Amino acid sequence: MSVAPFTLRGRNPDVLSCIANLSNDEVFTPPEFANRMLDTLAEAWAADHDGASLWVNPDVTFLDPCTKSGVFLREIAKRLIDGLEGHIPDRQARLDHILTRQVFGIGITELTAMLARRSLYCSKHANGKHSITRGFNSKSGNVWFERVEHTWEKPDEKNKGKCVFCGASSSILDRGDDRESHAYTFIHTDNIQARASALFGGNMHFDVIIGNPPYQLDDGGHGTSAAPIYHKFVEQAKALDPRYLTMVIPSRWFAGGKGLDEFRQSMLSDNRLRSITDYLSAADVFPGVGLKGGVCYFLWDRDHPGACQILTNFKDWPVSEATRPLLETGAEIFIRFNEGVSILKKVMGVETGQADNLSLSEDRRFETLVSSRKPFGFTTNFKGRKTKKVNDLLIYQNGGTGFVSREQVEGGVHLIDKWKLFAGYAAPGTGNRDTYPHRIISTPFIAGPGTVSSETYLSMGPFDTEAQAKSALSYISCRLTRFMVLLHKSSQHVTRKVYTFVPKQTWDRQWTDQVLYEKYGLTEDEIAFVEKIVRPMDMDLFDNPAEL
């Protein structure tokens, strides 16, 4: 009897490119993108092993610690099936070897574990009659899942608080055995080595860890509040000491953000990050997913420290590629755009005389003119009186204006009777996708003496005259100024910190992009890049722009 040529795709119809995502936080990886990550891994392996192919090695072990569809495990298995043909000619023996000794996964839910087994073994049970391997006695095979519970801070109280491992709120996820706990096995332990040995036996060691972890969980904070958890998967994976680690995660960690500052510092000070492939729009990787800030995948190479290759992608734009340090001197965040590094160095060279140091002195930072949140002590939902009383102040608030007494002001007293600028604390929306060019900040406006604002706005100033306020307004309306804001901006929130790279100017003229381009010596290509990223914000405030 003849045997048809073996293909996983023939036995297991490829539905993985069209199945619906679980949510914007638990996203299925398209097969094409999984293969991009595997190509990057294979290139690194070949460079480190005198050109040898990763896929001809029968001893390399792979782990996906957060498998959902099983796409990484399936695509790895397909490559090993072809690569090991010379080493293990018998097809069934080759399959059994790969699936029992080389490829491992941990499901994030019972459903995804079954889906991963279906993708890898062509059966939801590894020992089922339709399974392509005969090497397992258990239903799970090497794709493990068992329900794990959260470890609450106060387990004996009615309000149990948050999970000590992932920060999830008991008010949201302490909901009984009939619903998923979303207590992910890989990050709910303080000894991942022992956990791996318990799951897969012996002193299990993985050469390659690869995956697309869940991104966040509801932490029970004010409103719709979610805490990132993807960094916990990265940290646990490093603790297992693999030879290579590659994961796709949101790019927001570049500039820190909620719960990510320590992770950012750890990643940017780790010279074993071999490459970061960044996508400005998550929709270019995960069609239909609303994930602001983009996504990236990184390759961590334990044994080859050095500079990092940065590749930036956006739709049909040419890929921007550079090999550079993750942390430039004087910067505390990762500069996302390769072109942004050279532009910032030119700005700093003019402002400080040190082009290789991206730090401005305190007296040169525009940041010092920007208020913190709630500049006058009023929350976002505060509403002033509709009618004015004697000596009332005008308050700019969410949805319009109102009136408050001076006695109600709890902060920013030095700003009240000065000229200033107000700009929205939240950047203008671009829907649930990242688009370019965009404005970066909400349209700023001038507020005169006798005015305050709610938390909806940040204040910039103070300025002694309206002419100075107009000059400052013209400056922050420039594309180059807003580009420097973007380089430090990790979310829709435009905090004081995002102005770190923006230098102060003299407030005696109208600032235009042409004036700034000439002042800092930008090339035509650099100008074109800035204008490709940042949308114009026209404000004709002066009759005759001043010459420098």
Single-letter residue type at 480: L
Enter the pTM of the model. Answer: 0.88
Is residue 143 within 8 A of residue 73, CB to CB? The reply is yes
Give the single-character DSSP code of 426. B
pLDDT 10s digits, 213-269: 999 886 555 444 578 999 999 999 999 999 999 999 999 899 877 788 899 999 999
Q: Which residue has the higher pLDDT, 428 or 540?
A: 428
What was the pLDDT predicted at 543?
44
Single-letter residue type at 304: H
Residues 6+ apart with CB under 8 A from 154: 160, 161
Single-letter residue type at 400: G
- Domains, the chain, ranges and CATH? 16-148+184-327 (3.40.50.150), 360-533 (3.90.220)
- Compute CA 396 distance to the chain's CA centroid, rounded to the nearest angstrom: 33
Is residue 227 within 8 A of residue 215, CB to CB? The reply is no
Give the single-character DSSP code of 317. S
Q: How far is CA 5 from CA 215, 216, 476, 502, in A?
A: 39, 43, 64, 62
521: left (phi over 0), alpha (psi -120 to 50) or beta: left
pLDDT 10s digits, 55-99: 999 999 999 999 999 999 999 999 999 999 999 999 999 999 999
On the question of pLDDT at 544 being above 60, the answer is no
Task: Please state, in angstroms and rounded to a whole number, the distance separating the CA atoms of residues 52 and 408.
Answer: 72
The structure tokens listed for 107 are: 């499901």
Task: Please state, in angstroms and rounded to a whole number, the distance separating the CA atoms of residues 327 and 357.
Answer: 11
pLDDT 10s digits, 362-398: 999 999 999 998 999 999 999 999 999 999 999 999 9
On the question of pLDDT at 500 being above 80, the answer is yes
What was the pLDDT predicted at 175?
81
Could you identify the residue written with the tokens 């604002």?
453
Is residue 292 within 8 A of residue 280, CB to CB? The reply is no
What was the pLDDT predicted at 164?
92
Which burial class, exposed, middle or buried, applies to 363 when counting CB atoms under 10 A from its CB (0-12, 13-18, 19+)?
exposed
On the question of pLDDT at 429 being above 90, the answer is no
Residues 6+ apart with CB under 8 A from 209: 62, 63, 64, 65, 237, 240, 242, 244, 245, 246, 247
Work out the mean pLDDT of the chain and round it to a whole number: 89
